[in-house]
Amino acid sequence: MDWNSSLIKDLEWSDKIINITGKQKVADEIAAKVKDGDTLGVGSGSTSYLALIAIANRIKAEKLDVKAIPTSLEISMFCSKLGVPLTTLYENKPDWLFDGADEVDPNNSLIKGRGGAMFKEKLLLSSSAVRYIIVDESKIVTKLGANFPVPIEVFPQALLYVEKELKQLGATSIVLRPAKGKDGSIISENGNLILDCKFEDIGITMEKDIKLITGVIESGLFIGYNPTILMAANN
């Protein structure tokens, strides 16, 4: 039986995709790596979305048996729209994962989470032995925190305690992320709040130091995960 609805069928990316030429190049590069039988961890953000479209085109044209484990609700909806079969971490371990990033430093450490999906993004990245981060050149920084704050997902009742502890860790600015299309603050897929935090210096232990604070669900710092970076120029 059919729902007789076009909500999924007509779903479009919610914003203008900036640096689309570079993003499309790495998206096509990642799609070329897909093999018959693969289970893929599928990241979030516009670069991952473009890669998913390119993968869906290959699945259709070559009749590939490929399954996806999405890192966000948004990407799971696009998998449904594009006819990419979904699975879960209960049933499959990803053969490999691709995801975007907001910043990549010279050690291939990352800031992610502009889309608020860093909890599941880190879960999928940790679950995958092979990890590709796909970025255009605007994401390359000499120092983490140069262009983006660090997003931190917080259990709502722990908000003020976590704020106090983040100040202790040297946070110079802490902003409760506001929602677009809803009054008040953004609510994550896990029902939590997101704090966007700036630090003078993000040291090697900062990801673990933040995670140790009671009430922190996850941060967008990805230090030492050793992903392979696929980077395309924007021209």
| 160 sits in which H/E element | helix 159-168
Strand 171-176 vs strand 110-111: parallel, antiparallel, or unpaired? unpaired
3-class state of residue 110 by DSSP: strand
Q: Per rule CB under 6 A, is residue 188 in the interface with ligand 5RP?
A: no
Residues 116-145, one symbol each (x = binds ligand 5RP by CB under 6 A, - = not), give xxx--x------------------------
Residue written as token pair 């289970």: 39
Q: Which stretch binds ligand 5RP (CB under 6 A): 28-36, 38-46, 169-177, 197-205?
A: 38-46
Shortest CA distance to 101 belongs to which of 126, 118, 78, 84? 118
Q: Could you list the active site residues?
A: 121
Closer to ligand 5RP by Cβ: residue 67 or 112: 112
Q: Per rule CB under 6 A, is residue 94 in the interface with ligand 5RP?
A: no
Minimum distance from residue 123 beta carbon to ligand 5RP (Å): 13
Q: In this structure, what token pair is assigned to residue 159?
A: 């908000």
Indicate which single residue of 41, 43, 215, 227 sits in contact with ligand 5RP (rule: CB under 6 A): 43
Do residues 192 and 153 lie in contact, with contact meaning Cβ atoms separated by under 8 Å? yes
Indicate which single residue of 22, 41, 94, 100 sits in contact with ligand 5RP (rule: CB under 6 A): 100
Compute how many residues bind ligand 5RP; rule: CB under 6 A.
Answer: 17
E strands, 32-189, in order: 39-42, 67-70, 96-99, 103-104, 110-111, 130-136, 150-154, 171-176
Residue type, 113: G
Q: Per rule CB under 6 A, is residue 22 in the interface with ligand 5RP?
A: no
Q: Which stretch binds ligand 5RP (CB under 6 A): 59-67, 73-81, 98-106, 222-230?
A: 98-106
Minimum distance from residue 100 beta carbon to ligand 5RP (Å): 3
Q: Per rule CB under 6 A, is residue 219 in the interface with ligand 5RP?
A: no
Shortest CA distance to 137 belongs to which of 43, 42, 15, 21? 21
